[in-house]
Amino acid sequence: VAGRFAGRTIIVTGAGSGIGRATAVRLLAEGARVIAADISQPRLDELSAELGTDSLVTVAGDVSAQADVDALVAAAGPVVDGLVNNAGIMDAFLPTAEITDEVWERVLGVNLTSQMRTMRAVLPGMITRGFGRIVNLASEAGIRAGASGSTYTASKHAVIGLTKSTALFYGPKGIRCNAVAPGAVITNIEAPFHSAWAGERLGPIMQTTIPAPAQAEELAASISWLLSEDSPNVNGAVLMSDGGWSTV
């Protein structure tokens, strides 16, 4: 929808690939000024080269690190209207007894702590202005097991709790905070539908059928809807954008 985000500044993390990239592209097309964050400078350079617009600001950094989040928010400027907490990583599909501290800390840092840090940074300004739109990326793994290893599942369940709590506290201040839970999406993330792990590890457990993988643009449509004024009454929701996977 042309112009739906005209005049808005929206931060998108993990914007160098997959769902985050498709979301950044869509928000720019709909008039937003997009602050695209990613840990990969080459991916951001590629995005800038392809889109080449003054409305795109790229910031390289690790969203799990406070100093990098500070730099990201500083690059956005004083007014941030929207935030898409999209950056996320998988967990090598480790079940609980095999979790290493390194995997646990890294996955929770990138998938969960980053979302708290970015929200903590932008919420004060949103409260002052009485306006904010936040979308956090959860997952099928946010509502049940069987879609990943234990650490990733824990991180995405926690994302949903953090989203609901944020919605509860700040809804009355004009801020809406929702989660989008993708099913299988074709991106660069390590995933069961393009690796052998599911067959080896989760295959015997997962008796349900996973719908055909979605394209990242389909997720960008769900995310942009929640960011927009087309979802005025939606706060603290978990939008399953999974082709119906959660129904089985």
Contacts with ligand NAD by CB under 6 A lie at 13-14, 16-20, 37-40, 43, 62-64, 86-89, 110, 137, 139-140, 182, 184-185, 187-189, 191
Collapsing DSSP states into helix, strand and coil, what is residue 235?
coil
**Cα gap 236→196, rounded to integer Å:** 35
**Helices and strands in the chain, H and E counts:** 8, 9
Shortest Cβ distance from residue 73 to ligand NAD (Å)? 14
Q: Which is nearer to ligand NAD, 115 or 235 (CB)?
A: 115
DSSP 33-59: EEEEEES-HHHHHHHHHHH--TTEEEE
* Count of other CB atoms within 10 angstroms of residue 3: 10
- The smaller minimum CB distance to ligand NAD, of residues 2 and 67, is found at 67
User: Which residue number, 127 or 202, has a Cβ lying nearer to ligand NAD?
Assistant: 202
| Min CB(96)–ligand NAD separation in Å | 19
Q: Which is nearer to ligand NAD, 32 or 39 (CB)?
A: 39
User: 167 to each of 43, 55, 120, 178, how far by Cα in Å?
Assistant: 32, 28, 13, 7
**Mind telling me the catalytic residues?**
152
Q: Is the distance from CB of 12 to CB of 43 less than 8 angstroms? A: no
Q: How far apart are CA 180 and CA 75, in angstroms?
A: 26
Query: Minimal distance in Å, beta carbon 149 to ligand NAD?
Result: 12
Task: Give me the least distance between CB of 137 and ligand NAD, in Å please.
Answer: 4
